[in-house]
Amino acid sequence: MQTVETTPTWQKKIGLAWQLFLQWNLRSALATPWRTSLTVLGIALGVAVVLAMNAATWSAMDAFKAGITEVAGSSNWEVVPTAVPTLDEQVLRPLYELEAQTDEAVKIAPVLEGQGLWVNPSLNKSEPLVPTAEVVSILGVDMVQNKTTDSVQWVAGQAPINWFQLFQNGNHVLVGETLAKRHGLTVGSRFSLLVNTTVEPLQVTGILQAKGVGGSSGGDCVIADLATVQPLLNQAGRLSRVSLIVPKALEASVLPKIKQVLPASTVSLQPPQRRGQRVETLLKSYQINLTALSLIALLVGAFLIYNTLNVVMVRRKPELATLLVIGTPKRLLQLLLLAEATLLGLVGSVLGLGLGLLMLSGMSQAVSQTLQAIYTGVGSAGLIIPPWLPWVAIGLGIATTWVGAYFPTKEALAVQPAEAVRPQGSQVKAQLNTVKWLKLGGVFIVFSVILAFLPAVDGVPIAGYIATKLLLLGSAFCLPWVIKNTIVWLQPILPANWVWTPAALALFSGALNRTATACASVMVSIALLVSLSLLIGSFRSSVQLWVLQSLKADLFIQPYTHEMSRGGGRLSNETVELIRSVAGVAAVDNFLELDATYQGQPYKLGLGRMDLFAEHGNVKFVNGEATRSVITRVVALAKQPKNAVYGAIVSEPFAMKHHLVQGDKLTLPTPKGNLNLTVEGVYFDYASEQGYVIIPRQLYERFDGSMVGQNTSASVYVQPNVSADTVKTALLKVLPPTQLLSIRTNQQLREEVLRVFDQTFAITYVMQAVALGIALLTVLNTLWTLVLESQQELAILKVIGFQGRQIRAVVLSQALLLAFFGGGGGIMVGCGLAVILVHVLNYQSFGWTVPLQFSWVLAGQTFLGVALGALLGGWSPAQLAVKASILKSLRSQ
């Protein structure tokens, strides 16, 4: 300036930036409400999926953790079993001695946990009792020693508790407030629980607030003295754990002493949090799975943002140039565009939070169903959204916006002012370098293939996840080249009397920058949909085949609690004998399934009558060996004297997790020393992701006598000419009325397996719905943008005589092109993705081999669905194009 002004102070700079932001960025965004809301919606959808997915898993995890009760309020150490689910109460004696030695500065609190099912009282004596699906946790604590009082809080207004009752009578219990309220229980009420296989009548002595010990399982609990609970659960002499309170000052002197008195191979001393950590590692891979899936939604969100901002920035280029010409610093413009993207991201994210909460209500049920199907003891508590999650979701939403906005804004800011201020006609349109992108895409795909062959890290298939993302991105990058060349090739073969096709093809390939990204985002979501469908479809048919081929038994009998949550509930030996005595029964394999850990990872130790299994049963071995030959070997090895190496069979997930093959050795600790085993066979199994090790039960009993009277299920083989149903009916007749068993025929068992399977995959169905929604949103978004962008061209077509329906055909043809490239590409990429999902991700995280099955029907349906969706989505933009005034459109630039 000629009259020298002071350079602006920083306040003035901020003022200027703020003014420009309001007047330029904000008003521009508001001037195109459609486009802005589509951008915002793209972000919102991504954020919503991330929020809902994670909150759902989080809630399920929390419900899982709620099962972990702190009996002695402030306990800081605990003694837990490592090899099998329970401890021998013999461990208590030295511990109590220690307690006495320290003048009770160290406090000891033994606990036994189990489960029962609520049984509704029958109104009519002749009517059979039926258990409900309502799981009640049963907690045995040492009430004599009275260590628990500090964590006991009575519900207000109760008469003083008659402690004496609790010790004297085997059926007097305290109940948690939640359970009491739900069933209207008061002091003195009588009720029944199905524990193991027996309906047990119980009476309420007191009601506990849902805090401390009374808060176990969210207050859905029954608490009694150990002496009452041990026989009730058929766990005489057993404990789940011993909680300890060791004052900090004494830890150094007392902990080594405790360790000394404990049988180190089967018991460990650890802080209570450790149990929680184990739960977390258990759920880790599941959670990573879901997070990885939900991040694909964000990827699509980034595509949508890229797409719309591309349009926005092309429009703004002359404005940017003008601002540069009048001396606006480039830095300021960068800041303004960044702020605008951030604001869009923020609004989208906040909207996404709301949307996510809506989704969550549907999704959390799916997730907890899935978790319940996979893991033991997951309750379904209320929804819990960890306080950090919304912030992370918003952060991710904004980050996604930045990613999507990066290239369009970078390109816009690279504007040459001289170029942009030239008259519109003389502007050179930026051409997409399709070959460059094709090469980049090729590189990505090659890397994806390489990564797919890398092993999992710590049980988590990181490389596999990256491979999926690279495959999606790589294919997206190849798309512009494919579209360009396909259109060139398509042009001459379309009927000449379709006058609208040249225009549609020209508009479509003319805006390749935009149409290719739109096709890419449709492709990504369709690929997600298709790959999940293929995964589930193939998986389901493998499971079906497996269920048909592996004959477990003619009848399968187990306690209801065991059926509902694997691990809970026992069959007594008397019940097994009763079953054996029924006419028509050829053999009964009484099986015991124990939750145990091997090398720090949970697995299921199965103890069975393998001699019977060799004769009647059937499983499929990975190497194709016949069941009888493998099992006979195992049975023979079991007859060796003590300290030999015995045989075991392991399921595929167990073998995969511990890198075992046939012939490898494994060692299981037992109370009477190590049990050394050779893997005699690896068999296909889809029942447990944790994996099984199965050994003859007679063998195990030699090492751990405490398991002799315990059974979790009984497989019944009926005589050749007798039907399973006849035996079932006979069995029900001899069963006393207070005995309730789940008895399933082979057929029912198969159905049950498939039901559990569908539960396991409940969450993937939700993902499919989300993928479809995103695909449709993209189509809608793109067509609106295309129509708005090509107003001038469409108007010119009208001027040269195109009729309304032909204009509509131009727009709808573009919709179909979008469906063709996005849908077709999505189906192809989806197949590639399915290969990674099935052979890499699924195998590495669960250890299940599933042969992939391609389905033409699915492909056809998907393609038709996308085409139909595109036509529907294209309808309103087409109408807009038809109705638009020629003059207005021509003047619009």
Partner 1 sequence: MPNSCSSSLIIVENLSKQYQLSEPAVLKSVSFTVEKGSFVSLMGPSGCGKSTLLHLLGALDTPTSGTVRVNGAVISAFSEAELALFRQQQLGFVFQFFNLLPTLSVLENVSLPLLLNGVSNHQAHAVAMDWLGKVGLSHRAKAAPPQLSGGEQQRAAVVRALIHKPFLVLADEPTGNLDSASGEAVMTILKELAFAQGTSIIMATHSEELARQTDRLLRLRDGVLVQDEPLKPLHTEVLA
Quote the Cα angle for 408-414-418, to 5°. 125
Here's the x/- map for partner 1, 413-452, by CB under 8 A: it reads as ---xxx--xxxx----------------------------
Residues in 850-889 at the binding interface with partner 1, rule: CB under 8 A: none
Report the residue number, 805 or 888, with the smaller CB distance to partner 1.
Answer: 888
Q: What b-and-e string marks burial along 495-530, b requiring 16 or more CB atoms within 10 Å of the CB?
A: eeeeebbebbbebbbebbbbbbbbbbbbbbbbbbbb
Answer for which of 16, 358, 414, 450 binds partner 1 (CB under 8 A) is: 16
Q: Give min distance, CB of 796 to partner 1, in A.
A: 20
The nearer residue to partner 1, 157 or 423, going by C-beta atoms, is 423
Q: How far is the CB of 22 from partner 1 (least distance, A)?
A: 10
Residue 132: phi and psi, rounded to 5, are: -90, 180
The smaller minimum CB distance to partner 1, of residues 3 and 124, is found at 3
Q: In what order do the strands lie in the sheet with 585-598?
A: 665-670, 673-683, 646-651, 692-696, 601-608, 585-598, 713-718, 555-558, 742-745
Q: Which is nearer to partner 1, 15 or 362 (CB)?
A: 15
Shortest Å, Cβ 421 to partner 1? 5
Stretch that binds partner 1, among 8-16, 52-60, 73-81, 93-101 (CB under 8 A): 8-16
Residue 741 tokens, joined: 């068993």
Structure tokens at 142: 């040492």
Question: What's the min distance (Å) between Cβ of 359 and partner 1?
Answer: 35
CB of 42 to partner 1, least distance (A): 23
Exposure string of 724-734, with b = 16+ CB inside 10 Å and e = fewer, is: beebbeebeee
Tokens representing 297?
């939604």
Q: Which stretch binds partner 1 (CB under 8 A): 238-246, 324-332, 691-699, 872-880?
A: 324-332
Near partner 1 by CB under 8 A, which window of 9-17, 50-58, 270-278, 681-689? Answer: 9-17
Q: How far is the CB of 16 from partner 1 (least distance, A)?
A: 5
Q: How far is the CB of 308 from partner 1 (least distance, A)?
A: 17
**Residue list 211-270, contact with partner 1 (CB under 8 A):** none
CB-CB contact of 145 with 92 (8 Å): no
Binding string, 302-321, against partner 1, x = CB under 8 A? ----------------xx-x
Considering the complex, state which of residue 323 and residue 378 has its C-beta at the smaller distance from partner 1. Answer: 323
Q: Tell me which of 21, 24, 477, 821 binds partner 1, using CB under 8 A.
A: 24
DSSP string across 403-446: HHHHHHHHHHHT--HHHHTS-GGGPPPPPP-HHHHHHHHHHHHH
CB 658, CB 690: distance < 8 Å = no
Choose between 7 and 431: whose C-beta lies nearer to partner 1. 7
Give whichever of 321 and 505 is closer to partner 1, judged by the CB atom: 321
- What does the per-residue mask of binding to partner 1 show for 166-185, with x meaning CB under 8 A? --------------------
Sign of the alpha-carbon torsion through 309, 314, 316, 317: positive
- Give φ, ψ of 157 to 5 degrees: 85, 10
Query: Could you tell me the two tokens for 70?
Result: 């702190």
Minimum Å distance from CB 511 to partner 1?
Answer: 22
What is the number of other CB atoms lying within 10 angstroms of the CB of residue 439? 14
Report, in Å, the least distance between residue 424 CB and partner 1: 8
Rounded to a whole number of angstroms, the minimum distance from the CB of residue 1 to partner 1 is: 5
Burial 97-131, CB ≥16 within 10 A → b, else e: ebbeebeeebbbbbbbbbbbbbbeeeeeeeeeeeb
Interface with partner 1 (CB under 8 A), residue total: 37
Q: Which is nearer to partner 1, 328 or 541 (CB)?
A: 328
Nearer to partner 1, 322 or 618 (CB): 322
Tell me which of 259, 330, 665, 805 binds partner 1, using CB under 8 A: 330
Single out the residue of 123, 249, 252, 326 in contact with partner 1 (rule: CB under 8 A).
326
Instruction: Report residue 872: phi and psi, to 5°.
Output: -65, -45
- Please report whether residue 36 would count as binding partner 1 according to CB under 8 A: no
Of residues 8 and 276, the one with the C-beta less far from partner 1: 8
Q: In sequence order, what are the beta bridge partners of 78?
A: 243, 270
Q: Which DSSP category does 571 fall into?
A: B
Q: How far is the CB of 463 from partner 1 (least distance, A)?
A: 43
Q: Is 9 in the site for partner 1 (CB under 8 A)?
A: yes
Burial class (CB in 10 A: 0-12, 13-18, 19+), 187: middle
Q: Which residues pair with 879 in a beta bridge?
A: none
What is the torsional sign of CA 27, 32, 34, 39? Answer: negative
Nearest residue (CB) to partner 1, 325 versus 661: 325
Q: Which is nearer to partner 1, 8 or 673 (CB)?
A: 8
Tokens 């949103």: give the residue. Answer: 777
Q: Which is nearer to partner 1, 76 or 328 (CB)?
A: 328
Burial of 794 (0-12, 13-18, 19+ CB in 10 A): buried
- Residue 674 vs 892, nearer CB to partner 1: 892
Instruction: Concatenate the DSSP letters of all residues of 332-389 into one string.
Output: HHHHHHHHHHHHHHHHHHHHHHHHHHHHHHHHHHHHHHHHHHHSTT---------THH
**In the range 508-537, which residues lie near partner 1 by CB under 8 A?**
none
Nearest approach, Cβ of 318 to partner 1 (angstroms)? 7
Round the CA-based radius of gyration of the chain to a whole number and report it.
34
214 close to 45: Cβ distance less than 8 angstroms: no
E-strand stretches of 519-627:
555-558, 585-598, 601-608
CA distance 764 to 769: 9
Cα–Cα distance for residue pair 354/224, rounded to 1 Å = 44
Contacting residue, 186, 277, 322, 726, with partner 1 by CB under 8 A: 322
Amino acid at 208: L
For partner 1, which residue of 327, 492, 495, 801 counts as binding (CB under 8 A)?
327
What lies within 8 Å, CB to CB, of 710 at 6+ separation is: 234, 570, 592
Indicate the residue among 24 and 621 with the shorter CB distance to partner 1.
Answer: 24
What Å distances lie between residue 68 and 86, 195, 363, 883, CA to CA?
15, 20, 24, 65
Looking at residues 98 to 117 of the shown chain, list those that interact with partner 1 (rule: CB under 8 A): none
Q: Which residues contact 591 (CB under 8 A, 6 or more apart)?
A: 606, 607, 608, 609, 697, 711, 712, 713, 714, 715
Considering the rule CB under 8 A, would residue 329 count as an interface residue with partner 1? yes
CB of 343 to partner 1, least distance (A): 15
Q: Which stretch binds partner 1 (CB under 8 A): 2-10, 456-464, 572-580, 582-590?
A: 2-10
> Least distance (Å) from partner 1 to the CB of residue 34?
16
Stretch that binds partner 1, among 13-21, 67-75, 644-652, 868-876 (CB under 8 A): 13-21
Q: How far is CA 793 from CA 780, 805, 893, in A?
A: 20, 16, 11
For partner 1, the closer CB: 26 or 389: 26
Closer to partner 1 at the Cβ: 19 or 640? 19
40, 348 contact by CB (below 8 A): yes
Which residue, 22 or 868, has its beta carbon nearer to partner 1?
A: 22
> CB 330 → partner 1: shortest distance, Å?
6
Shortest reach from residue 812's CB to partner 1, in Å: 31
Residues found near partner 1 in the complex (CB under 8 A): 1-3, 5-9, 12, 15-16, 19-20, 23-24, 27-28, 31, 318-319, 321-330, 416-418, 421-424
